[in-house]
Chains A and B, each alone.
Chain A
Amino acid sequence: ETGVTQTPRHLVMGMTNKKSLKCEQHLGHNAMYWYKQSAKKPLELMFVYNFKEQTENNSVPSRFSPECPNSSHLFLHLHTLQPEDSALYLCASSPTGDSGGEIYNEQFFGPGTRLTVL
């Protein structure tokens, strides 16, 4: 399998449930990202991991808990979500999370998980 994969593709959960989103990249990259895409709003960066270390938390509520066990895998653990958290959650990877503009460092995106919170 190549590129960036995300599972599940669709998830419906109640506000009291606990679920996890999974992202896997097969590109040999060292940086991984979580983005949230709500209807009619720009993509919002949530978290950045560079070499398994979290380097960015964009003021995300604690009901979203990321985990990066290695450079190829990224999880987003969800608990006690709100209906306004319903969105498309996109994962991305890039060669590094700290290019300083010296390299192209294009981000490659997965297909996303469409989350609905009831």
Chain B
Amino acid sequence: AQKITQTQPGMFVQEKEAVTLDCTYDTSDQSYGLFWYKQPSSGEMIFLIYQGSYDEQNATEGRYSLNFQKARKSANLVISASQLGDSAMYFCAMRDESYNTDKLIFGTGTRLQVFP
């Protein structure tokens, strides 16, 4: 069965510093996609970044980058130059791309707090 593990329930980072949020996954499938979402206190899930299992380069989107290590089954999110507005819950998710229905499996999340 597929599983996403986020071992950091909470992280603190000072403004303007970089922070890495850990995510490991378990799947026996060859084709899959990995997502990171941000959930502020308002509740909505905001898409941040996507990495396909066959992508050779690490995904980047502005201040977000995904450190994809396929052999280790890890997909850590790196946020550079943290801002106060980055304080939120962050969820790693995996999509099984070998089935007909697009299902996302989520981890338990990491609460990031950015302090001045």
B32 shortest CB reach to chain A, Å: 8
Residues B45 and A92 in contact, CB atoms below 8 Å apart = yes
Q: Which residues of B contact A104 (CB under 8 A)?
A: 50
Please provide the chain B residues from 92 to 116 with a CB less than 8 Å away from any CB of chain A in the complex: 93, 95, 97-98, 100-109
**Which residue of A50, A96, A108, A110 is within 8 Å of B47 (Cβ)?**
A108
What is the total of A-B residue contacts with beta carbons within 8 Å? Answer: 71
The answer to whether A114 has its CB under 8 Å from any CB of chain B is yes
The answer to whether A25 has its CB under 8 Å from any CB of chain B is no
Interface residues on B, range: 20 to 34
Residues A50 and B106 in contact, CB atoms below 8 Å apart = no
Residues A97 and B108 in contact, CB atoms below 8 Å apart = no
The answer to whether A105 has its CB under 8 Å from any CB of chain B is yes
**Which residue of B43, B102, B104, B108 is within 8 Å of A88 (Cβ)?**
B43
Question: Could you tell me the distance between the alpha carbons of A74 and B103 in the complex, rounded to whole angstroms?
Answer: 17
A98 shortest CB reach to chain B, Å: 5
Residues A99 and B102 in contact, CB atoms below 8 Å apart = yes
Residues A107 and B107 in contact, CB atoms below 8 Å apart = no
Residues B107 and A42 in contact, CB atoms below 8 Å apart = yes
Q: Which residues of B contact A55 (CB under 8 A)?
A: 100-101
Residues B43 and A42 in contact, CB atoms below 8 Å apart = no
B residues lining the A interface (CB < 8 Å): 4, 31-33, 35, 37, 42-47, 50, 52, 91, 93, 95, 97-98, 100-109
